[in-house]
């Protein structure tokens, strides 16, 4: 599917995903080099916006209820352990 008309800008009505990393720590040392940022940059995203939805804000996952997900996963793991 061709989406050229929807891409290429960060503006209302255009498709975009935007990730922002904080750079205050030691992991940002040498960050003048693009390869360094890609290969050894920070691993935790500060803010993440996907198609206009805020997924991560200030390092906190907002797109789902993490506690609920963890409880469901724990219940599934416990059920697997009991079935053995």
Among 17-21, 67-71, 74-78, the least confident range: 17-21
pTM of the model: 0.60
Alpha carbons 14 and 8: distance in angstroms, whole number:
8
Between residues 68 and 16, the one the model is more confident about: 68
| Residue 18: pLDDT over 80 | yes
Instruction: Give a yes or no: residue 12 inside a domain.
Output: no
Report the sign of the C-alpha dihedral through residues 25, 30, 34, 39, in that order. negative
Contacts of residue 24, Cβ cutoff 8 Å, sequence gap at least 6: none
Per-residue burial over 27-44, b if 16 or more Cβ lie within 10 Å, else e, is bbeeeeeeeebeeebbee
Instruction: Give a yes or no: residue 11 inside a domain.
Output: no
Instruction: Give a yes or no: residue 64 inside a domain.
Output: yes
Instruction: Give a yes or no: residue 1 inside a domain.
Output: no
Instruction: Give a yes or no: residue 9 inside a domain.
Output: no
Domain count, the chain: 1
Residue 67: which domain range?
17-83
């Amino acid at each position: 599917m061709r989406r050229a008309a929807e891409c290429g800008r960060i503006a209302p009505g255009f498709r975009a995903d935007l990730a922002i990393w904080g750079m205050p720590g030691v992991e940002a040392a040498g960050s003048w080099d693009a390869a360094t940022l890609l290969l050894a940059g920070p691993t935790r995203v500060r803010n993440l916006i996907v198609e206009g939805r805020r997924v991560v804000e200030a390092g906190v996952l907002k797109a789902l209820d993490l506690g609920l997900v963890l409880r469901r996963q724990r219940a599934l793991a416990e059920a697997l352990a009991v079935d053995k």
